[in-house]
Amino acid sequence: MSSLIRELWDEEPPVSCLTTLQTYILNLRKLLASATGMTARQVASEILVTRSGGYLFRTTQGDLDVHRFHQLVSDGRRALSSGDDSTALSTLSSALQLWRGPALVDVVAGRILEGRRQQFEESRLVVLEYLVDTQLRLGMYREVLTELAALTADNPYHEGLHAQYMRALYLNGRRAQALELFQRLRVNLVNHLGLEPGPMAQELHRSILNAESIDAQGNLRRPTGDIVRMSSSGAVRVY
């Protein structure tokens, strides 16, 4: 319950916050009843259930697209681990196709939901890195250019994405653009964060500067990051 109050009113809840919250829950149950064809009482006992200190929103694996996303990502990672890049490409692409713009884009988010929204966006970015990594190993150098141009523009401090874009440009014979991209990354990092690019980006820059051979099949960094997950039971409890 305290999480719901904090999400709705932050640190300044009104005196009537509990009554108002109960009204919101009642209205939400009515909306769920209308959408599912159930009665409000059935919704209260089977979906949005009152529990000690809060409410439990019960879902199954097929109810939320986020569950499907996590399953596809897990399948894609297993394919990558086994060296099956073709299956990984198909599976990770399917996972990303579930996205329809930014997470929770039509929700007025408080502090808690905003944190979760950022986690979901980071999960999407990690999967995009895996996908591009796979595409480059499969020799799809041209296919990734448009996507990477947009990703690096949206994430001006993300060294991993910039390194992937540099590789793709270089492997497409666009050496000068790859070098310019590194300089843009460096300027952004130095001017805004006071940081130099990390060893990976600098080493790649030196290799391109020296016109060395880059093997896209072997030397790509594996992206690191966590995928935000729902509970294994499919239920989310809010206090």
Q: Where are the domains of the chain?
A: 2-58, 63-139+221-231, 141-215
Residues in Cβ contact with 60 at an 8 Å cutoff, skipping those fewer than 6 apart: 234
Same fold, 2-58 and 141-215: no
CATH number listed for the domain at residues 2-58: 1.10.10.10
What b/e sequence results for 55-73 when a residue is b if at least 16 CB atoms lie within 10 Å of its CB, and e otherwise?
A: beeebeeeeeebbebbebb
pLDDT digits (tens, 9 = 90+) for 210-228: 999 886 643 544 444 555 5
Q: What does the alpha-carbon distance between residue 116 and residue 165 come to, in Å, rounded to a whole number?
A: 28
Give 50's strand partners.
Answer: 55
Q: What pLDDT was estimated at residue 219?
A: 52
Enter the DSSP assignment of 186: H
DSSP strand E in the chain: where?
48-51, 54-58, 235-238
Place of tokens 């960094």: 221
The ranges of the chain with pLDDT < 70 are 215-239
- What is the CATH T-level fold of the domain 141-215, as seen in this structure? 1.25.40
Q: What pLDDT was estimated at residue 60?
A: 80
Enter the DSSP assignment of 70: H
Sheet holding 235-238, edge to edge: 48-51, 54-58, 235-238
pLDDT digits (tens, 9 = 90+) for 158-205: 999 999 999 999 999 999 999 999 999 999 999 999 999 999 999 999
Between the alpha carbon of residue 194 and those of residues 157, 178, 180, 182, the distances in Å are 11, 22, 19, 16
φ, ψ for residue 39, nearest 5 deg: -85, 160
